[in-house]
Structure 1
C-alpha cells in the first residue's frame, strides 16, 4: 500500500523540481522543462497526471502571487487566486488529453502541445516546454521547432530514455557552443530602473529626463534607441510635440512604449518618433489577462482595460527593416512569436516594464524565453526593460 502512494508523490515532487529549475530564468536550463512530458506520461492514473501538471505549472509560475500583490499594492491573496485560476487551463488540457493507452499517447500529447500554444488556452500558455527549442536547436528555425515537437512526442513513448539521451546530446553541444543573440546594427536597447513611477509620472520633467537618456544612448553607430514598455506614459499630441522638437536636430529614431487612451479603454503600444513626428508602430496583441485585459467589462456595459489585438500587426516596418515586436506578457506565451516568425522579420524587439516582479524570476524568464526564440530563428534581438 505504501508503494502505491510513494510513486505518485515522487512524480509530483519531481514535476515541481522540473518547474522550478527549468523556469529559473537561466536560458540554458530551459531544457529541464522537457522532464514534464516524461513525468506526465508515466503517471498511472488521470488524477495523478492532473497533480503532476499542477505541480509543474504552479512551480514554473511561482512568482505570480508576489508579483500581483506588488502590482496592486495588496496582500498575497489576490495573487494566489489568479495563480490558481491561471493554472486551470494548463491542468485541464493535460488532464483531458492524458491516456493510459501508450499507442495513442504521443498524438494526444501533441494535441495538448498545440492547444496550449494558441488561443484560447494559449492565452495562459506559460512555461511551454517547446520554448526550449531555441536552446537545443539554435539557428534551425522551423526545422528545429519541428524536431522539438517530435522530441516532445517521443518523450511520452516507451522509448523515452533513448529520446531523452538524444535531446541531452543536443543540449550539451548547444551549451558548449552557445552565443547570445546579436543586437541589430544601429540599434541600442536602454534598460531603466525607475520602478513603479515609469508610466505613472507624466510630468514634463520626466519627458526631459527620457530625452536626455536617449541623447546619451544615440550615437553615430546607434541611430535607433528602444525604451521600455510605458516609457512615455500616455501618448498625447503634447508628448509627441515635445519629443519631435527634441529630435529635430538629430537623426535618431526612438521606439518606446506608451498607452493610447480613449473612451472605451486603452491600447498598450509602441511608438516610433523621429524629427518628422511620431506614429503608432505596434498595438499589443495579448496584454496580461486579468490585470490589463478585462474582456468581461464589455459584458456589463463597462469601459476600461487594455484591448487585445490578438493576431494583428505581427511585424512592423522600421526604416528599411521589418521587426517582430513583443511587449512584456507576449514574451511568456508561444503564439505571438510564432505568428511573427511566419512573416520572416529581420529582428525581434522585446520591451517590458517589470517593476512589479522584484524578488521574483519573472523578468529573467521573459529575457530567457525571448532570447531562446531569437536563437532558434537566428534573429537579432533588441531587448529593454524597466525594473
Structure 2
C-alpha cells in the first residue's frame, strides 16, 4: 500500500479501535477515548478529519442498530439509518471546526467539545471524551472538569505526547485506587430482569409483584426504594390508588418510572409514593431518546404523540430531606443533563433505565460506566435501578 494511503487507513483504523475500547462499558477504559482528539488533530485534511470522526463515533455507538431492531421488532435497516443519521452532527461539527492552523486548533477543538455537550448538537452528543474526567480526576469536581478541558486542548497541540503521558499517570493511579460510588444510607435501587414486559404488562398481578419487591427491599432496611424506568407503566388514577393504598404497609418512599399520557403526547417520568399514602410526579425526563421517543416534527404536521422533552427543567428534585439529581436512560449518555444537575450541588444521583432492548449490546454497560464516571468526578452517592 502506498504511503499516502497507509496513513489515512491507519488513522481510521485507530479511531475505530478507540471508539470500541473506550466505549466498551468498562468505566476504567473511558480514558482511551482521549485518543480521538489526537487523531483528529493529526489528520492532514478536513475530509480525513471527518472520516476519523465518523470512525470513532460509529464504533462507540455500534450497539444502536441492533438495539433499534430489537425495540421495533424489525430488521436491521431502520437501526442502521438512525445510526448513520445520529453520527452526522458529530462528524459535521468536527469536520467544520478542523483546521491546519496549529495556533487556533486547541480553541477550535474545545469549541467542538462544548457544542457537542449542549443542545442542539448535544442532543446526540454520545461518546464525549470529557466523560473520562471522572476516571482521571475523581473527586475533583468542577476543577477536574476544567483540567480535563485544558488537557483536551493540549492533546490537539504539538505537546500532545507530554499531555498523554500525564494523563496516563493519572489513569494508572486511578485504576490502582479505584472504588465504586457509594450507595447513600437507606436507599436501594432495584434491578429487574423482566425484559420487554416491564411497563407493557400492566395487569394487577404485575403491580402486586412490584409491590412485593418493594416490601422485600424495605424488610432489608431500605427507606427509599427506586424502581426502573417505566416500571409502573401508565400512571393512571387506578394505578396511583393501588400503590397509595398499600404504601401505609411499608415505612418507605417508592420512586418509580412511569408514563404520563395525554391528548398531545406523553412524559417519561419518575413518580413518588410516600409513607402517608400520597403520590406525585417527581421528575419529567429532560431528554427522551431522539427519534424513537422524542419526535418534535409531529407537531409541525398537525400530529400528536411522542415524548415531550423538558430540556433544562427540574435538574434537581427533593426526596425527603435530600436533593437528588435524576437521570432517566438516554440522559446518562449525554453531557448537559448531569452537568446542569451538578450546578445545583445535589446530595445524590438517581439513575434509572429500561434496557431490555439492548440485549447483546454494550449500551446498558456504557450508560452505567458514564454515570459512574460523572458521580466519581463530583464525589456523589449513586442509586441505580435498571431493567434488562
TM-score, with structure 2 as normaliser = 0.99
**Residue 84 of structure 2 aligns to a residue in which SS?**
helix
Distance 2:259 2:88 in 1: 30
Distance 2:141 2:116 in 1: 20
Deviations, residues 204-240 of structure 1 (Å, cap 9, x unaligned) = 1110000001001113631100000000000011111
Deviations, residues 288-339 of structure 1 (Å, cap 9, x unaligned) = 0000000000000100000000000000000010000000000000000000
Q: What corresponds to 1:86 in structure 2? A: 86
Matched, 1:373 2:374: yes
Q: What corresponds to 1:284 in structure 2? A: 285
Deviation at 1:245, TM superposition (A): 1.1
Contact 2:18 2:32 survives alignment (8 Å): yes
Within-5 A mapping of 1:194-343: 194-219=194-219, 221-274=221-274, 275-343=276-344
**Residue 218 of structure 1 aligns to a residue in which SS?**
helix
Distance 2:220 2:5 in 1: 66
Q: What corresponds to 1:363 in structure 2? A: 364
Matched, 1:139 2:162: no
Gaps of 5+ in 1: none
Distance 1:207 1:92 in 2: 46
Distance 1:305 1:100 in 2: 43
Distance 2:155 2:99 in 1: 14
**Residue 173 of structure 2 aligns to a residue in which SS?**
helix
Distance 1:315 1:64 in 2: 29
Deviation at 1:249, TM superposition (A): 2.4
Q: What corresponds to 2:27 in structure 1? A: 27
Contact 2:245 2:277 survives alignment (8 Å): no
Q: What corresponds to 2:58 in structure 1? A: 58
Deviations, residues 340-364 of structure 1 (Å, cap 9, x unaligned) = 0000000000000000000000000
Matched, 1:158 2:158: yes
Contact 2:102 2:157 survives alignment (8 Å): yes
Deviation at 1:276, TM superposition (A): 2.4
Cα RMSD of the aligned pairs, angstroms, is: 0.7
Matched, 1:97 2:103: no
Q: What corresponds to 2:45 in structure 1? A: 45
**Residue 113 of structure 2 aligns to a residue in which SS?**
helix
**Residue 57 of structure 2 aligns to a residue in which SS?**
helix
Deviations, residues 147-177 of structure 1 (Å, cap 9, x unaligned) = 0010001000000000000011110000000
State the 4+ residue runs in structure 1 displaced beyond 2 angstroms.
Answer: none
Deviations, residues 64-85 of structure 1 (Å, cap 9, x unaligned) = 0000000000000000000000
**Residue 123 of structure 1 aligns to a residue in which SS?**
helix
Deviation at 1:112, TM superposition (A): 0.2
Deviations, residues 33-64 of structure 1 (Å, cap 9, x unaligned) = 00000000000000000000000000000000
Contact 2:215 2:250 survives alignment (8 Å): no
Contact 2:49 2:98 survives alignment (8 Å): yes
Contact 2:135 2:377 survives alignment (8 Å): yes
Distance 2:38 2:265 in 1: 44
Deviation at 1:279, TM superposition (A): 0.3
Distance 1:296 1:94 in 2: 26
Q: Which moved more, 1:243-252 or 1:108-117?
A: 243-252
Deviation at 1:251, TM superposition (A): 1.3
